[in-house]
Structure 1
Amino acid sequence: MVDRVGRIVARHPERTAVVSATEALDYRELWRRVNAWQQRCLSLGLPAGALVTILSGSGTGLPPAFLGARAAGLVPLLLDEALPQSQLAAVRPAALLRADEDEVRPTEDANPRTLPPEAGYLAFSSGTQGMPKGIVGQAAGLLAFVDWEIARLDVRPGTRVAMLTSPAFDVVYRDLLLPLCAGGELHVADRTVRFAPPAVLPWLADHGIEVLHAVPSLSARWLDAAGPTLDVLAHTLFAGEPLYGRHVRRWRQAAPRTRVVNLYGPTETTLARFHYEVPADCGTGLQPVGRPLPGGEVELVSLGPPSEYGDTRVVVISTPHGSLGYLSETCSPDDLRRLRRERGITRFQTQDRGLLDPVGNLVVAGRVDSLVKRRGAFVDIGRIEAAATELPEVRAACCLQLASDSAIVLAVAGPDPAAAAELRRKLRAPLGADLPDRVVALPSLPLLPGGKVDRRSVRELLNLEDVV
């Protein structure tokens, strides 16, 4: 990755590389700062593969700090200064780099962690599937994805790519490396933009963004806030959550010229492993995640005897570009069983249920734990969420089973609270026996810092509503 950026510098030193709210760097200045960071890191005398943390905000500091650390042979964990760093206890970094202050200092850890030569970064899972797990990412896997995306999207020198993702989440590497490995422009959104939905569409328009990575739930909030039409947005790549055609249609009203791609792939398999370009005439329902990226394979493995919902099959992904494994202190023995790296291939058994559509596209039909029992019968709460999103008055939906009485409660954002009971009546026909016990309308659904629906917080709100 460092060599790739260096070749861009040699060809286009005067082109704009990074733009923030306070300054713009051309590739010559970016490279000067990369070299300065490399020297700072080398001065620490750390062994190759030593783990370091990079703390950054929303300026131009992150790209040169990351590339400089990699040039020095170190393995970074990116942290967002606006978010808690609760995972640090299990990390044991050798040094802390403050990207926006040009500061580096060794830690006082008596046993700092060193990772294998193939490691390129450390990331933590989002926490939507239990406690966040530390995942050792493969450097070659990052570059393989970036190369695929450059070719797929025809990213060229000058292409403007948005960075709206928090540095604390591994998907930030899609934003960070895509433009810099192709001579494009990385436009870094200030935190006042990232944390304010009404500010996002105007920022995208003002910066002439051409490529955007987004989470469906978060981008729905941007649309709710309204804003200018994004006439130059050429590519929108959604990931992280189920993507419904209804949201795609809303998004295309705001960005009429954009191509929409649905990406899928857990952190364990490096950024994304499946892609599907959503056609112009897509339906309103759940969209496929498509075909594997080059080198990847998918298996649909039966979890047991068929239930009333048929043969439940879990998605298993194999790829040479996947992660190297978990930090053992951050995961369970079952986690270690489901993620294996052998003979250069990562094999990961996800917690997602999948099927193939008639033309061979993978469809993620829900999570394994979205099949719950109510009064002795299975109910698919993922199916309830999908049906709710078909209703025009529903902006977002999250369905959960409450432990207190096993009731299945659907939380929706959009309709007036007084209309919640009417929504349940509308869902009776499409859901039949899967009808939720209650529907609760909330002003909005809480989101995790990465943009996904925060199901744990929704559960807390529903339990509180149940008590009230």
Structure 2
Amino acid sequence: MEHTLYEWFAASVAEFGDRPALEVGEERLTYRELHGLAERIAADLVAARRGVPARVGLLAGRDALTYAGYLAVQRLGAAVVPLSPSAPAARNAMIVRAAGLDLVLAGTTPSGPGTPSWPVPVVPLRRTAPPTARLRLPRRRVDDTDALAYVLFTSGSTGTPKGVPIRHGNVSPYLAHVIARYGLGPGCRVSQTFDLTFDLSVFDMFATWGSGATLVVPTRRDLMVPVRWVADRKLTHWFSVPSLVSFARRMRTLRPGRMPGLRWSLFCGEPLTLQQAGAWATAAPHSTLANLYGPTELTISCAEYTLPADPARWPRPANGTVPIGSVHPGLEHLVLDAGGRPAGEGELVVRGAQRFPGYLDADSDKGRFLSYDGPATNAAPYTGDGPLTDDHWYRTGDRVRREGGRLVHLGRLDQQIKLHGYRIELGEIEAALRDQPGVRDAVAVAVARPGDEIALEAVCTGTDLVAEAIRSGLEARLPAYMVPRVTSVVDELPLNANGKIDRQAVITALEGRRSAARRPVTPHG
């Protein structure tokens, strides 16, 4: 049976009301207490709207009110649209308009809610409501799994973020699978490392609250010492991007047996290397490690591979990454070559219960879906001429290969990258660069760094350019994770034989410059 997100939570309230639902710092709320706070905030929203809103933005940090606010929106049967407090006000305002929000529920105001750039009312998150907000709440919609649960905005190659709507009917079968798969239930203590603008946070919240477990939220300071935090908080389930493992390795905190209480360690958002997995496994010897994979459009994660307990039995793909394994139940997949024919290596396409219904802007659907009728035909791109149906396959844009019955992720087919779990279209950064005064052309690339990491760098051409001024312009337009670490100014960008910017030549030049800077100088004479 399918449920809405709030029904997953409400069932745990009914069964586990006095058990801990949420820990944020020193604050602890039981399921019953969190439910009461969410009901109160929901009444505040109804009072502000003078009715039930359809879509609500959530601009807040990592505190108990934020999570109660997320539940309050779900309680009303509305869709949550998370907004980042650290994003530029103009970007958040663009999302507010594109999503068609009725209200913004705000626990913080660093990006400027209430200013003329915000086109909808802003409702403050608060624990105590004014008397006018103490209204009778409408009955929950208990069977509307076709309704939207949330909308997330991902980086767009045209320079405009793309809205990805996810229905309750997409999330519910996913939760049913992962709650059983990872043994979640009362007594489990689950990390919440992801920002709410990142869809993996939905796993954190609702796989936890749908099972009667406890969601444990780290502070920013806690994430600087993740291994110590896991041990101190006695976590049983960990979920993060793999780059956090690399950070812990640099800090030399992944000592043997340091996290003895972990039962499951889950990683998603970017490739998990075998080196990262091995380092984490040493520190969490009783934990089962799983590599999850999936774009936002396929609802949180759509494939998984669990590493054997014995590292000697781990698969060793040539690219040094852990396989992404097999797709979840209720999903179908194909691997298609460049001609749209089934192959052992090519683009991964998926359809099934977790596939989203299509972008908020239907024009973005064109070319992102395929029709495929079987071996006698080639896959045909969706052009938008007819309706988008459940039979269409979503194109992930990821290149995979079948190895030993498992899928191995080989990289992207386009100019999209994953950095610390965030999906970034390099084209959006380049569009922002070209809009800076004096910039003629620009390219953004991902450059390899020591320790299995990548970094964003940019190179641009133009007249009278100052790198610091360009960076300031980008910071006013892009979220911090999309601002290149270094922006270099050159006379000309390298071109390939087809007259296009040679990205690989740019990457080679940047890496060569870094190697030269590290090379010791040999004295003469």
Structure 1 length as normaliser, TM-score?
0.73
1:15 has 2:19 as partner = yes
* Equivalent-residue separation in structure 1 for 2:344 and 2:288 (angstroms): 34
**Letter of the aligned partner of 2:208 in structure 1?**
P
The 3-state SS of whatever aligns with 1:143 is: helix
The 3-state SS of whatever aligns with 1:349 is: strand
Change (3 A) 1:311 1:12: closer
The match for 1:208 is: 234
Change (3 A) 1:12 1:128: farther
The match for 2:101 is: 93
Summarize deviations over 1:136-178 as a string: whole Å, max 9, x none: 1111222222221110011111210001111221111111111
The match for 1:287 is: 322
Change (3 A) 1:46 1:252: farther
* Equivalent-residue separation in structure 1 for 2:38 and 2:66 (angstroms): 10
| 1:299-338 pair list within 5 angstroms | 299-304=334-339, 313-328=346-361, 331=364, 333-335=366-368
Farther-moved stretch of structure 1 (44-53 vs 220-229): 44-53
| 1:106-121 pair list within 5 angstroms | 108-109=119-120, 118-121=147-150
CA offset at residue 346 of structure 1?
A: 6.2
Question: Contact conserved, 1:273 with 1:292, CA < 8 A, in 2?
Answer: yes
1:368 has 2:413 as partner = yes
The match for 2:73 is: 69
2:250 to 224, 229, 238: 224
Change (3 A) 1:155 1:267: same
Question: Contact conserved, 2:349 with 2:393, CA < 8 A, in 1?
Answer: yes
Choose 1 or 2 for highest CA Rg: 2
| 1:148-159 pair list within 5 angstroms | 148-159=177-188
The match for 1:268 is: 297
**Letter of the aligned partner of 2:355 in structure 1?**
G
CA offset at residue 189 of structure 1?
A: 1.1
The match for 2:29 is: 25
CA offset at residue 327 of structure 1?
A: 2.0
CA offset at residue 88 of structure 1?
A: 3.4
The match for 2:496 is: none
The match for 1:297 is: 332
CA offset at residue 343 of structure 1?
A: 4.4
Q: Give unpaired runs (5+ residues) of structure 1.
A: 372-380, 383-399, 416-452
**Letter of the aligned partner of 1:56 in structure 2?**
A
Change (3 A) 1:109 1:80: closer
1:191 has 2:220 as partner = yes
Summarize deviations over 1:108-141 as a string: whole Å, max 9, x none: 449xxxx995211001225699764210111122
**Letter of the aligned partner of 2:195 in structure 1?**
S
CA offset at residue 18 of structure 1?
A: 0.4
CA offset at residue 456 of structure 1?
A: 7.4
* Equivalent-residue separation in structure 1 for 2:302 and 2:158 (angstroms): 19
* Equivalent-residue separation in structure 1 for 2:267 and 2:510 (angstroms): 32
The match for 1:235 is: 264
Identity of aligned residues (%): 25
Change (3 A) 1:18 1:127: farther
Question: Contact conserved, 2:447 with 2:510, CA < 8 A, in 1?
Answer: no
Question: Contact conserved, 2:53 with 2:102, CA < 8 A, in 1?
Answer: no
**Letter of the aligned partner of 1:225 in structure 2?**
M
CA offset at residue 244 of structure 1?
A: 2.0
Change (3 A) 1:193 1:354: same
CA offset at residue 216 of structure 1?
A: 1.2
Summarize deviations over 1:345-387 as a string: whole Å, max 9, x none: 56311111122223x222222222489xxxxxxxxx99xxxxx
Question: Contact conserved, 2:368 with 2:395, CA < 8 A, in 1?
Answer: no
Question: Contact conserved, 2:358 with 2:365, CA < 8 A, in 1?
Answer: no
Q: CA RMSD in A?
A: 4.0
The 3-state SS of whatever aligns with 2:484 is: helix
1:145 to 156, 174, 195: 174
Farther-moved stretch of structure 1 (231-240 vs 82-91): 82-91
* Equivalent-residue separation in structure 1 for 2:325 and 2:274 (angstroms): 14
Structure 2 length as normaliser, TM-score?
0.65
Question: Contact conserved, 1:135 with 1:323, CA < 8 A, in 2?
Answer: yes
Change (3 A) 1:332 1:143: closer
* Equivalent-residue separation in structure 1 for 2:85 and 2:175 (angstroms): 26
Change (3 A) 1:290 1:15: same
Farther-moved stretch of structure 1 (84-93 vs 346-355): 84-93
Change (3 A) 1:160 1:105: farther
**Letter of the aligned partner of 1:364 in structure 2?**
H
Farther-moved stretch of structure 1 (73-82 vs 204-213): 73-82
* Equivalent-residue separation in structure 2 for 1:129 and 1:317 (angstroms): 24
